[in-house]
Structure 1
Amino acid sequence: MIFKARSTMTSALNKLLFLLVIAMQPVYNLVLASNTMTDSTIAPIKTIKLASLEWYPYQGSNLPNQGVATDIVMTVLKSKGYEVEIDYLPWSRQMRELENHRFDGILGAYFTKERTQKFIYSDCYLTSSEYFYKRSDSKISWKKLSDLKGYKIGLVRDYANSPQLDNADFLHKEYVNSDIANIKKLLNGSLDLIVINKKTAEYLLITSMAPFFNDIEAIKPPLITHKLCILFNRDDPKSKQYIADFNQGLAKIRKDGTYKKILQRHGFTP
């Protein structure tokens, strides 16, 4: 009788323990999932510091989401766990500061072969076309650069134009520090032509230069269409990881439709 009582008690205890294990299973699964998520999907926040330019409508501290280029770059980097810091500086200073490792990268830079000696690029995330602009009452046209001999051409200092134009020593080229300065010189007759990004010219001519909207115009064909990328210092050991993360994130937002939505939000054609 004693043995039977003990057997019955043991059976009841085992049954109770079994029921307790079953009852605790959801809690265990939740804890396990939480631990797995912490280990594999929640990465520590990383900070990346980028230099940028007041270059409308692509980049600008006063633009919605700081412009289409900034919107794309920040969306991608934040999706990869980065906290993004942006400082706005003149272009020439950006290049010096990047070379001296005061920034991790330059947010928007045209790809040029010359720059690859010191710097490396992310994948391209936008394209941008440069045009010659003239006064609307001018008869200047061109098919090849030699057609422009004898004209005064305004460029922005340290901007990448086209290799052919940059190396065309037979042309008269004058340099200033901004696109607006060039537009003003074109309007007052100090220059015959300027080189400027078409969307930048259109933006300036409906905002700060609106009274002169009909006074200057682009000359076809475009001088060059550039690829816009993030520029990183070649000898920074972190640069390759930045590029790998950005390129992976960019491919993802192109695929899931986010990239197209960003372009449309800023009035750009996908």
Structure 2
Amino acid sequence: MIGSSRRRRLLCGVLGAFCLGGLLPTSAWAQHQPGALKVRLVSTEFPPYYASDLPGQGILGALVVDAFHRAGYAATIEFMPWARALQEAQRGYFDGIVGIWHSEERARNFAFSEPTAANEIGYYLSVVNQFDRKRLETLDGLIVGTVRDYRNPDVITRLKPKTEETVDDATNLRKLAAGRIDVALVDRRLAEHLLKTSLSNLRGKVIFSGRVIDTLPLYVAFSKSVPGYEAKLSALNRGLVILKTEGRFPLP
């Protein structure tokens, strides 16, 4: 695992390569490749990693589509709320799901690719709601905001604090700013992106605690209920190796 600052530079470099040279194909591009084998993937809005309104559908969205292209597949990504995306992928309505954390429970229904990047999960806090930061060690008496059907970090499973689920990370940060929860569990890059864009009105109202509590690799997972999933998994991994060899992979 490389340092967070170097990883951030690598992620930005991949995005910069896409924006400047059009090097990474998009899902729209993939849809018009005659004769290519098709792969239908699903995900949720999770910028800057992947989102429907980002160039190339995000850093990792573009990476996954390009990796499949290198292996002779045309991949498309559709976006919907996470809980629905996970359910529809599991039932085989899509070949797989982009940007998922591994768990033993999920591995019963999905086959996981090689890791594509990693989320740095940490606590976000309200500037107004002051409490002894030592309480973050135990979370005793604190309400922690989580997202429905996300896999929570091990520390949350171990400490078992009171939690409140919501549909997405943006809603979680809004609840934090409104004082409805004490702590929000959020990926640091995602929160930074939201606070610069759609949640810019919350800048200065919520802050990062300064501590990453868990680093969780991101995968593409293929539904075992879809016939031939093994070939698509193998194709993606081959494409990722090619991009890694070319230095176009976010993680070495």
TM range (shorter): 0.7 to 0.9
1:175 partnered with 2:165: yes
1:224 partnered with 2:200: no
Partner residue in 1 for 2:42: 51
1:134-186: CA deviation from partner (whole Å, max 9, x where unpaired): 0134344258752x1101111111111213313543x1111111111111111
Partner residue in 1 for 2:56: 65
Partner residue in 2 for 1:246: 236
Q: What is the aligned length?
A: 218
Task: State the secondary structure of the residue aligned to 2:133.
Answer: coil
- Identify unmatched segments of 5+ residues in structure 2: 1-33
Two-structure CA RMSD over aligned residues (Å): 2.0
Larger radius of gyration: 1
Q: CA deviation at 1:90?
A: 0.9
TM-score (norm 2): 0.80
- Identify unmatched segments of 5+ residues in structure 1: 1-42, 264-268
Equivalent of residue 141 in structure 1, options 111, 116, 133: 133
Partner residue in 2 for 1:132: 123
Change (3 A) 1:142 1:79: farther
1:117 partnered with 2:108: yes
Task: State the secondary structure of the residue aligned to 1:55.
Answer: coil
Aligned residue type for 1:141: R
Partner residue in 2 for 1:198: 188
Equivalent of residue 92 in structure 2, options 77, 97, 101: 101
Kept in 2, the 8 Å contact 1:187–1:215? The answer is yes
Partner residue in 1 for 2:81: 90
Higher fraction of helix: 1
Whole-Å Cα distance in 1 between the matches of residues 107 and 126 of structure 2? 36
1:166 partnered with 2:157: yes
Aligned residue type for 1:60: A
Aligned residue type for 2:59: V
Change (3 A) 1:247 1:140: farther
Change (3 A) 1:243 1:215: same
Tell which has more relative contact order, 1 or 2 (C-alpha 8 A, sep 6+): 2
Partner residue in 1 for 2:247: 257
Whole-Å Cα distance in 1 between the matches of residues 105 and 134 of structure 2? 26
Q: CA deviation at 1:189?
A: 1.0
Q: CA deviation at 1:114?
A: 2.2
- Runs of 4+ in structure 1 displaced over 4 angstroms? 142-145
